[in-house]
Structures are given as C-alpha cells and as structure tokens.
Structure 1
Amino acid sequence: MGKKTQKMKSITKSKTKSHKQKVKAHKKNKNISKTKHRPKLRSESQDKFQKPKAPLNEYLAIRSNYNAIQFIFECGIKLGLKHITICSAAVYFHRFYKHVDENSYDKYSIASATLYLASKVQDETIRLRDLINVSYHTLHRDAAPLRLAEDYWNFRDSIVNTEMLIIRYLQFDTTFNHPHSYFLHYVQTIRPVFYSKHGKDVIVFKKAYDFLHDFYHSSAILQYKPQHIAIACLELAIKVYGIPSQIIDYEKQPWYQALVEDLDKVTLWNVMTAIMDTYDLEPTTN
C-alpha cells in the first residue's frame, strides 16, 4: 500500500513538472512571436543612423542681414547665452553695418564675431572653440566635425580679427540701453489692471515680448528710445488681441502716457510701424 502511494506521488510530481515546463515554453514562444512581429522602435531601427532633417533656414542660400541676425540668435541659444547677450550681438551687427557697405564683409563672420564680443561685454565669456564649432555646424549642418587643421585655424583667426575690426568701427563704444528693463517695469505696473479687467495678461505680455525679440532683426531698433520701443510692443500686442488701449481711465490720456510722458501718438505709430515692417525683411525662397 505504501509503495503504491509513493508511486502515485512521483507520477503526480512528474506531471506537474512537465506541465510547468510546457507553460514556460509556451510563454517563451509567445514572447518570441511578439518580438518577431512587433514593429521596431525608432531607437532600434536603422533610422537612428540617418541624419536628421535640416531646418528650413539654410543660411548660405540667402546671405541677408535678417538671416545673419537669425544666425546670431540660433548660435547664441545653442551656446547657452543669455537673451540680453544675444540681443547685444544683434545691436553690434546693426551698428557695424551702418558704417560699411552691406556686401563688403561676410555677414556670418561678422555675426560670429559680434557674439564673441557681446559675451565679453556681458561678462558671459564663452570658449572660442565652442563658438567656432557651433557657428560652423550651423552654417554647414551636414558637415563632418571640424578638426584642428587649417580650416579651424582660419576660422579662429577670422573671428579674432573681425572682432577687432568691429570694435574699431564701434569706436570702442559697446554700450546700449536695451528696452528689456523698461519692458519688465511697464509689465509689472500695468499687469494688475490687465488681470482684473481683461484676464488676458499672460497672452498679451508674451506677444509683446515676441515683438520685442523680433524687432532686433531690424536696424530700426537703433533709431528709437528704449522706453518708446517697450511701450510700442505692448500697445501693438494690445491691439492684436483687441483690448481697449484706455486701460487707465484718465480723461483724454492714453494709458502709456502715465509711464512715458514724452511719447506722443505719432511717435508711437512710427515705432509700431517699424516693428511690423520687420516681418517684411524676412527673405523668401522661391
């Protein structure tokens, strides 16, 4: 009787063991079939070896001042520079081309040199090698890495010499009163009124800041007072979103005259027109 019981237990154990093995084998085959038939992820496929598509803006196709400023902003962002540093480089670019013929110098060499100069003026010094690599690969997006060879040293000498040339044309005056500080002050002043009356403060101020950013693409930014530019960007955003300009209820006094007394309607419209004209400067590829 005991022998029969032991025999039955051993048979049961062997059946259980074989059943578990079958279940494991089935799961394994199921996983293999899933892996075999599922689509490959992008990181697993050969697409990872393909070069990404270049942005639409190919700077070497059209050498315009607008594209050169766009190049300054792109390189500055890649280098991690502050916005005020990048804007300073754009100002130096415009000031330089006030003194020289537009086709006398390579625009992207001037643009790279103004970035290098602006980083020094704003105490945000960058490595020259980093600037060279970023500038080179922004212009030549599909090119191989730039080696320490003749091309590199030529590029380096070009930036250093061009920086000295720019400083001389600027007469060693690198100061510029940017509109940003005034813009932030005006926003903080009128924001409570915007929020309580219209509830569109964030959208309006963001659009106004976009106008300020884009205005650096035009040399007209050198012609107006920074306070007037800041107000014009805000007023333009207010009009874009259809918010009444008489936010402060003073009789026959626009809201901005409480902040800037010497700004009249004619000057304001001139600045706003100059900002809008900036968008006509963008070259089109046909």
Structure 2
Amino acid sequence: MPCWYYDKKELRETPSILDGISFETERRYRKEGARFIMECGTKMGLGHNTMATGVVYFHRFYMFHSFRSFPRYVTACCCLFFAGKVEETPKKCRDIIKTARGILNDNYFYSFGEDPKEEVMTLERILLQTIKFDLQVEHPYTFLLKYAKCFKGDQQKLQKMVQMAWNFVNDSLSTVVCLQWEPEIIAVALIHLASKLSKFTVQDWEGRQPQHQRWWDMFVSDVTMEILEDICHQVLDLYQSTQKETHQSSSPPQKPPSRAESPTAVKSTNSTVIMLSSVQQQQPPPVSGNGNLQEVNNIQSIKSLAGGVPVLSSGDAPSLPQGPTPPGQSHGYHLYHAPPPPPPPVVPNVPYPTSAWGVQQTLPPPPMPPSLPPGPSGFYSTGGRQQQQRY
C-alpha cells in the first residue's frame, strides 16, 4: 500500500510549488477546495465521512499534480463525486455540478469548460490512477468518539468539549495535517486542544494503568507534546489566516491582483474565527459575517465553531488581462467582445438557449467562410493558404 504521509520538506516541494505557485497560495487553494467540498456536500445532505473522504482525496491528488494543470473546483467536484461512491452515498454528477453552479460565480465556473459533466468524468479516471486505487480512508471522527467514551468527569462539560473537538476536526480538513499524521494522532491533538479551551481536564479514564502518565498513552504510544502542539498550531493558524482574509476583503485593494495571486474573498456565515490572543484568554470570540467581534458569555457560543462553510464572494474574482480580445475568444474565465470593426455587416444577435446551470450566452454565431469557386486540384486559396474543399 502507498504511504500517504509526508514531512514538511516534501510539503514545500509539491508539483504546484515547483510550477511557480507560492507556498502561501497553494495553502489557500487547498483551503478553498476543502471548504468548497464541505459546503457542496452539506447542501446535498452528504455525511461527514463522505465529505472528509473527498477532502483527503483532494489533498492527495495535488501531491502529484499542479493547481495550474487542474483547476481546484473541478477537482473538488470530482473528489466529492468519487467519495460518494466509495462511502456508499452516491450522488449524480449533474446534481453535484448544479450545486457547484449555485455556489461559484461565473468566473470560476467557466473553468469547467463547455461540458462540465465530461470534465468531471474524465478527471475521475485521472484521480483513480493518482491515488493508486487506495480508496479506503480513515478519519479522526471515529477515534474521537472512541477516546471520549473512556473519559470520566462532568458529562455536560465532557459533551461540550467533544463538540468543540469535533468542530476542530472539521476545520483541520482545510489544512494538510491529514498528509502528515495518522487520524489517531490528529484526534488526540484536537481533544487536547479542546480540553484546554473548554477548561475540561481529563484526570481519570477507564482502563487506566500505572504506567500511563497521560490519557492518550493508553491509545497511542510515542506521541510527544511537540507533535501535538504542531497539529494544534496548524489548526489555530487557519483561524488567524481566515481573520486576515476577512479584514482584507472589507478594505479596498491597493492595486488590482494578478490572476495567479489574487485572493478570494471569504464571507463567514455560520463559522467562527478564533484569534491567537483569545486562546491565551481561554475565551475564543466568534466573528460575525461583517467582521465585527462578538462577546462570548459561555462555551456554548462556540458550539458551531467553523461548523458552517464560508461562501465564496462573487465580487472578488481574479482580474483579467487588459486589451481588446477577438469575439468569442476566452482569457481563461471571461468571454468578452472586441470593438465592432468599421462598417460591419448587420448580424442578428441570436441568443443561445439557457443551459442547465443558468448560464445564458449571447455571442453571435461565427460568420461562415466566403464561398469561393474550387481551384485546380480541388483546392481554393484564402489569403495564400490552401485549404481542401469538401465536396
């Protein structure tokens, strides 16, 4: 079986980074793809295991391919579609694409091409070969519940702590910890983080032995505090970066971003953002949709910590190259027209029918080539280039 765990050096030498994408941009692309899978799966009523499996496929896929070669949202739809088959909760490809159309703006949805279903179905074969037919994926959810059942203490506080740890597991999918550590270790680390924030200290547990100094010694051996702190910091850094993106999206940009480096504005809906300073105060304040901090009176207020998935803003799409573009040509995302040439022939603008995803194109039909008499040997000349006429 292939090994899906990498060290930090390997994570800084991914195909995307070798292809010229910065480390920060690649992490942002991974986060956006993971959150898109979670939001799309939530709207379709899929279970947490199916969405988590799709996210793990997504992260593993881009350890072998670059974001420049495969658009992240097309890959995310393919991973969710394939994860539904593996977890026995299948959804039709056209339903996933329709849901994605309702989430993404026009600029991002144009990356699906003229036939989105064909794009996803073709990519599915590439995904299957990339993950080397290793379909089964374990997640920290199972181990989280298994460990929590052994804890002793106030059941109400224990339930709140487990809920917080569960939400941390959801957020960890937006990071690359699933490419670094086994799900058992991730579950231990996030229970440890949740116990610190909820002030629930695990002092006694079932099956405790004299050689067990800490509760996780009974389940996972040779796990140091450095490993647990590294996982916790990666999750907490995710909230800090989300906080910065929220404030940056509310302020006017200083200069137009480029297509490759333009940040995607994220609007928080039901999710909650934790600042690092609030961790020291043992009271994580949530951030509302407009970016204002709200007071937290009890631990129940962070029950929905990142339980919702941010919605991509339709007003902050990558900028496009300037200058005239011939009619019907595409610059990656937008289709737009060139200025009309002087005295053009009047061509009726016949609208094309609306597609299943609500995209209506109004480009005029391309003009037909002039009808020229056949030249010698069945060829006719157009501007010095010979083309064979089909009889």
- Report if aligned partners of 1:180, 1:230 keep a CA contact under 8 Å in 2: yes
State the partner residue of 2:50: 85
CA offset digits 1:202-242 (Å, max 9, x no partner): 21111000101100111222210111111111110011122
Q: Does 1:203 align with 2:160?
A: yes
Q: What is the correspondence of 1:218-233 to structure 2 with a 5 Å cutoff? A: 218-233=175-190
Of residues 175, 179, 194 in structure 1, which corresponds to 2:153?
Answer: 194
State the partner residue of 2:223: 263
State the partner residue of 1:212: 169
Q: Which region of structure 1 is more displaced relative to structure 2, 95-104 or 258-267?
A: 258-267
State the partner residue of 2:275: none
TM-score, structure 2 normalization: 0.50
CA offset digits 1:123-148 (Å, max 9, x no partner): 1111122111111111138xxxx9xx
Name the aligned partner's letter for residue 237 of structure 2.
Answer: D
- Report if aligned partners of 2:161, 2:200 keep a CA contact under 8 Å in 1: no
State the partner residue of 1:128: 93
Name the aligned partner's letter for residue 180 of structure 1.
Answer: Y
State the partner residue of 1:179: 140
Partners in 2 of 1:228 and 1:111 — Cα distance?
A: 26
State the partner residue of 1:3: none
State the partner residue of 1:109: 74
Partners in 1 of 2:133 and 2:212 — Cα distance?
A: 45
Q: Any stretches of 5+ residues in structure 1 without a counterpart?
A: 1-62
Of residues 108, 116, 121 in structure 2, which corresponds to 1:155?
Answer: 116
Partners in 2 of 1:251 and 1:161 — Cα distance?
A: 54
Name the aligned partner's letter for residue 99 of structure 2.
Answer: V
State the partner residue of 2:195: 238
Name the aligned partner's letter for residue 190 of structure 2.
Answer: C
- Report if aligned partners of 1:93, 1:110 keep a CA contact under 8 Å in 2: yes
- Report if aligned partners of 1:239, 1:245 keep a CA contact under 8 Å in 2: no
Q: Alignment identity in percent?
A: 27
Partners in 2 of 1:180 and 1:208 — Cα distance?
A: 9
- Report if aligned partners of 2:55, 2:79 keep a CA contact under 8 Å in 1: yes
* Greater relative contact order, per chain length (Cα 8 Å cut-off, separation 6+): 1
Partners in 2 of 1:170 and 1:268 — Cα distance?
A: 27
C-alpha root-mean-square deviation of aligned residues, in Å?
A: 2.6
- Report if aligned partners of 1:116, 1:126 keep a CA contact under 8 Å in 2: yes
Q: Any stretches of 5+ residues in structure 2 without a counterpart?
A: 1-27, 252-391
- Report if aligned partners of 2:158, 2:200 keep a CA contact under 8 Å in 1: no
- Report if aligned partners of 2:212, 2:218 keep a CA contact under 8 Å in 1: no
Q: What is the correspondence of 1:25-174 to structure 2 with a 5 Å cutoff? A: 64-140=29-105, 154-174=115-135
Name the aligned partner's letter for residue 105 of structure 1.
Answer: F
Name the aligned partner's letter for residue 70 of structure 2.
Answer: Y
CA offset digits 1:259-286 (Å, max 9, x no partner): 3233232222222223323334547124
From the CA coordinates, give the structure whose radius of gyration is larger: 1
Deviation at 1:93, TM superposition (A): 0.4
Q: Does 1:272 align with 2:232?
A: yes
Partners in 2 of 1:236 and 1:272 — Cα distance?
A: 6
